[in-house]
Amino acid sequence: MTITFVREQELKALCQSDALSHALFSVDYLKGLVFAVASAPEIPMPEVWLPWIFREHGQLPDTGTADKLTDILMGLLQHQLRLMRDDQVRLDDGLELPPDAHKINTEQLPLSRWCNGVLAGHSRLEKVWNNAWQKMHNKNPHSMPAATKDLSHCLTMFSTFADLPLAFEQAKVRDNDKQFVALLPTVFLSLPPALQTYVNLSGTLVEYLPNQFETFSPPSK
């Protein structure tokens, strides 16, 4: 069971309001985006990542709304960081895999919206990851193959669930679409461990960066 963000209903109300529904991405997308920001080896400043919450040409109607949304999203970031530090990285309870998920439009599936948010955040932060990656390569090159394999696995998982109809069509081209559908529930069970792997990998990369303050460190075993 996941620990729910206490201001989630406020965030939903803002995202679904007449004033903001066309300007902001969905709540699920934003939560995935914040997960990616929190998981970065170097967490960007708010003025860097907060603009990523908008759809193209999106804007807020007034400063009061802007301040409230900023406060909620910063709270969501802190909530996500606490979950990581407490070894509580989980998929939210609402991010389920329904029957025939491969037939559901990406925008209609909360799980896909969340994964798209994660991928968008990771893409925006690619330079941050590459910087940390290069420092690890310089100091500990023998760790690179395993780390590269882990990151590739995580991103493949996120990409698969970000667009299940596309993944199904790709499986069909390879003539293993029936196997894809049959195995999808089992693959879905591997998604939460992939989230933890992603977070742990970032925590490993942090060790090669100087003086990181708002970053995650894996819990000691």
The predicted pLDDT at position 212 comes to: 52
Residue type, 76: L
Whether residue 213 lies inside any domain: the answer is no
Q: Using one digit for the tens of pLDDT, what is the confidence trace for 126-162?
A: 999 999 999 999 999 999 999 999 999 999 999 999 9
Q: Flag whether 102 is in a domain.
A: yes
pLDDT at residue 164 in the model: 97
Residue numbers in the chain where pLDDT is lower than 70: 1-2, 57-58, 211-221
Q: CA triplet 75, 78, 81: central angle to 5 degrees?
A: 150
CATH code, domain with 70 = 1.20.120
Report pLDDT for 220: 45
Count the domains in the chain: 1
Q: Which residues of 181-213 are buried (b: 16+ CB within 10 A; e: fewer)?
A: beebeeebeebeebbbbbbbbbbbbbbbeeebe
Displacement of CA 100 from its chain's centroid (Å)? 23
Residue 219 lies in a domain: no
Residue numbers of the domain that contains 13: 8-206
Instruction: From 19, 161, 9, select the one nearest 76 (Cα to Cα).
Output: 9
Which residue's structure tokens are 């100087």?
210
User: 1 in a domain, yes or no?
Assistant: no
In a domain, 33, yes or no: yes
Question: pLDDT value at position 197?
Answer: 96
**143 part of a folded domain:** yes
pLDDT at 22: 87
Which pLDDT value is given to residue 211? 63
**In sequence order, what are the beta bridge partners of 24?**
54
Q: What are phi and psi of 89, to 5 degrees?
A: -75, 115
CB 217, CB 86: distance < 8 Å:
no
Task: Indicate whether 175 belongs to any domain.
Answer: yes
Whether 18 is covered by a domain: the verdict is yes
